[in-house]
Amino acid sequence: MMNTSSGPENTEKSGTHAFPNGGKYFIRTFGCQMNVADSERMAALMGEQGLEPTENPSEASVILLNGCTVREKAVHKALSTLGEYQDFKYRKEKPVIGIGGCVGQLEKATLFKRAPYLDFVFGTDTIDQLPEIVHRVKHGERHVVYADFDRSQDYSTETKIEGSKSQAFVNIMKGCDKFCTYCIVPFTRGREKSRTIDEVVEDVVQLVNKGVREVTLLGQNVNSFGKNNPNVKEREPKELHNIIGKVGPKAGDENFPQLLRALDTDPRLKDLRRIRFTSSHPLDFSDELIECYQPADKGGVSKLCNQLHLPVQSGSDRVLTKMGRHHRIEGYFAQMDRLRAINPDVGLSTDLIVGFPTETEEDFQQTLALLDRVQYDNIYAFAYSPRPGTRAAKLPDDVPNDVKNERLNRLLKYQLKIAEKRYASRVGKTLEILVEGMAKNQILAAQLPEGEKGTVWTGRSGCGRVVNFLNRSPRNLTGKFVNVKITSATGLALAGELDEGEVLL
Ligand code: SAM
Ligand code: SF4
């Protein structure tokens, strides 16, 4: 019989570890960077319980699945992966199995019907309760659900990372108030709430003290960061303006450009080298944020990377209106033109949906024209998938799947040609790369003349491009900033070579 309990109000608190003899945890993540950041937090919490990470679910005492619900396919993927762990429950040493993230938030106890061997479900706001939940399950409870939203007005947290890292994701806000008609995020992540600027700065100081050199500020729409946080310190800019209207934080609230400037100028953050952020919405993409991309000597934010991900979703005004995006394509172009005029080197990327209800070939052609006009480095494109409870789910899903898939493929091929040209223009230049680790593909090293040895490393430039490069010295470059001379390019990545003397930090 199902014994569904709901936390955290009927929680049995415990100071003791659920695994006094140690053990291992395994985490599988689906979805966006927000989910990746949540999984890092889960990993840190399991580490605090004395558990070690493992890549092999069969040797884990705790298996956690962090699922995405943005598209139906992603939900199926998470549930079929869960099925792969079912047999472990027939062992003498049974693992504790839980599923969380947006899937847990949305599906709650219904997941036990589909997967009775599952021990617990947690949501997007209850990750910090994981040790407690695991403890309860370890002590005999089954089918535990912790998927309540945190209803408080404020959002306060502290970034948790495992081990030493040069990059970290920092949640600066949560939720979304935009309610685009196709999107389930406002239902799985709740209403928008921001941390205070002081809290985020303190958090980043702690990360930098631990060796972090690049932070990615995360939120569903970081451009509206600060809404309802009074600007008690009178930080500048006090008010935001936008070519296409004004929706973000009001005058007198904290705002995103203030946060960027606070991180750029805090003397304790001199070792922080790069700031990125994602994601953004054109309605809140302010002139003041565009100004942050200026060169530092002209009043820009010196640590801000030359990169912007600004989702547009479609090139057709008709479709944008149906999507509830509340802006027109000309306004988006005006924003991009202003940004490029200030800083022509910014690498742009976007999200696009094809096959939204009623999308015609003509609408789709306008999306292709958008790619020509904006010249993105990269796009993330998706076939429309109706999501339960959203306004668009009430519209007939009238673009057949084969048409959606054909448009998706055509879009990706079209973009690849644009990216090839854009990437080729970097050949011969030297770019600063933060090295993420050894590249999976070591072909460049295998092609060296006999007797010569080298390793291929991979990392990202400030403008967000993946760069694979060869280094002939045996030195481990993970976490280092290096200058790499670009020697060749495809539409997906750049390749180059490094002199050992070019290691910067
Ligand atoms: N808040 C972010 C934003 O607005 O860019 C990210 C939202 S969502 C996690 C990432 C992308 O998934 C969206 O930008 C959109 O392109 C896509 N997406 C969201 N709902 C979708 C749906 N129902 N079908 C297909 N793609 C969808
Ligand atoms: Fe979803 Fe729109 Fe919010 Fe992005 S801005 S999370 S697409 S509702």
Tell me the pLDDT tens digit for each residue of 21-73: 679 999 999 988 889 999 999 999 999 999 999 999 999 999 999 998 998 88
Q: Which of 69, 352, 353 to mutate to test the pocket of ligand 1 (most atoms within 8 A of CB)?
A: 353
Nearest-angstrom CA–CA distance, 107 and 478 = 39
The whole-number average pLDDT for the span 214-226 is 96
Q: Which ligand is closest to the CA of 384, given by its number?
A: 1
Nearest-angstrom CA–CA distance, 344 and 275 = 18
Residue 166's pLDDT is 93
Residue 502's pLDDT is 61
The whole-number average pLDDT for the span 414-427 is 94
Distance 306 CA to ligand 2 centre (A): 23
Residue 16's pLDDT is 54
Q: What percentage of residues in the chain have a pLDDT greater than 90?
A: 80
Query: Quick one: CA dihedral 407, 408, 410, 411, positive or negative?
Result: positive
CB atoms within 10 A of CB 152: 9
Residue 100: closest CA among 69, 59, 76: 69
Residue 6's pLDDT is 41
Is the pLDDT score of 415 beyond 70? yes
Nearest-angstrom CA–CA distance, 324 and 327 = 8
Question: Ligand 2 within 6 A of 323 CB?
Answer: no
Question: Ligand 2 within 6 A of 309 CB?
Answer: no
Q: Which residues line ligand 1 (CB under 6 A)?
A: 32, 70-71, 176, 182-183, 185, 220-221, 279, 281, 311, 313, 351, 353, 382, 384-385, 387
Residue 127's pLDDT is 94
The whole-number average pLDDT for the span 89-108 is 91
Residue 503 DSSP symbol: B
- b/e for 275-312, b at 16 or more Cβ within 10 A? bbbbbbbbbbbbebbbbbbeeeeeebbebbbbbbbbbb
Residue 303 DSSP symbol: T
Nearest-angstrom CA–CA distance, 476 and 438 = 9
Nearest-angstrom CA–CA distance, 242 and 250 = 12
Local structure of 349: helix, strand or coil = strand
Residue 499's pLDDT is 65
Distance 423 CA to ligand 1 centre (A): 26
Where does the pLDDT of residue 311 fall: very low under 50, low under 70, confident under 90, or very high at 90 and above? very high
Question: Ligand 2 within 6 A of 185 CB?
Answer: yes
Angle of helix 361-374 relative to helix 401-424, nearest 10 degrees?
10
> Which of 124-128, 152-156, 334-338, 384-388 bottoms out in mean pLDDT, i.e. has the lowest?
152-156
CA dist list (Å): 121 to 34, 143, 487: 18, 7, 49
DSSP 27-93: EEE-SSHHHHHHHHHHHHHHHHTTPEE-S-GGG-SEEEEEE--SSHHHHHHHHHHHHTTGGGGGSSS
Distance 255 CA to ligand 2 centre (A): 19
Distance 185 CA to ligand 2 centre (A): 6
Residue 354's pLDDT is 98
Is the pLDDT score of 74 beyond 90? no
Atom of ligand 2 nearest to the CA of 325: 2
Ligand 1 atom 15: residue of nearest CA: 351
Atom of ligand 2 nearest to the CA of 221: 5
Q: What is the pLDDT of residues 443-455, one digit of tens each?
A: 878 888 888 888 9
Q: What is the pLDDT of residues 114-158, one digit of tens each?
A: 999 999 999 999 999 999 999 999 999 999 999 988 888 889 999
Residue 87, classified by CB atoms within 10 Å of its CB into exposed (0-12), middle (13-18) or buried (19+), is exposed
Residues 6+ apart with CB under 8 A from 148: 6, 7, 8, 123, 125, 126
CA dist list (Å): 338 to 121, 341, 451: 46, 5, 52
Question: Ligand 2 within 6 A of 178 CB?
Answer: yes
CB atoms within 10 A of CB 424: 15
DSSP 242-275: -TT---SSPTTB--HHHHHHHHHH-GGGTT--EE
Q: Which of 34, 183, 281 to mutate to test the pocket of ligand 1 (most atoms within 8 A of CB)?
A: 183
Q: What's the chain's average pLDDT?
A: 91
Local structure of 455: helix, strand or coil = strand
Nearest-angstrom CA–CA distance, 165 and 120 = 30
Are the C-beta atoms of residues 31 and 101 closer than 8 Å to each other? yes
Q: Which ligand is closest to the CA of 102, given by its number?
A: 1
Residue 214: closest CA among 434, 461, 490: 434
Where does the pLDDT of residue 13 fall: very low under 50, low under 70, confident under 90, or very high at 90 and above? very low
Atom of ligand 2 nearest to the CA of 177: 3
Residue 283's pLDDT is 94
Q: Report the predicted TM-score, pTM, of the whole model to 2 decimal places.
A: 0.93
- Bridge pairing between strands 347-354 and 378-383: parallel
Residues 6+ apart with CB under 8 A from 390: 181, 182, 183, 184, 187
Nearest-angstrom CA–CA distance, 397 and 390 = 13
Distance 355 CA to ligand 1 centre (A): 13
Nearest-angstrom CA–CA distance, 62 and 84 = 14
Q: Which of 174, 185, 227 to mutate to test the pocket of ligand 2 (most atoms within 8 A of CB)?
A: 185
Residues 6+ apart with CB under 8 A from 115: 79, 82, 83, 86, 99
Q: What percentage of residues in the chain have a pLDDT greater than 70?
A: 95
Question: Ligand 2 within 6 A of 186 CB?
Answer: yes
Atom of ligand 1 nearest to the CA of 176: 1
Cα 149 from chain centre: 21
Distance 194 CA to ligand 1 centre (A): 20
Atom of ligand 1 nearest to the CA of 184: 20
> Alpha helices, DSSP H only, in 266-328?
287-291, 317-322
Are the C-beta atoms of residues 261 and 421 closer than 8 Å to each other? no
Are the C-beta atoms of residues 420 and 445 closer than 8 Å to each other? no
Residue 55's pLDDT is 95
Question: Ligand 2 within 6 A of 32 CB?
Answer: no
Residue 56's pLDDT is 95
Residues 6+ apart with CB under 8 A from 193: 153, 154, 155, 173, 174, 175, 228
Ligand 1 atom 20: residue of nearest CA: 183
Q: For 178, how many CA atoms within 13 A lie in the half-sphere containing its CB?
A: 29
Nearest-angstrom CA–CA distance, 275 and 262 = 12
Residue 453's pLDDT is 86
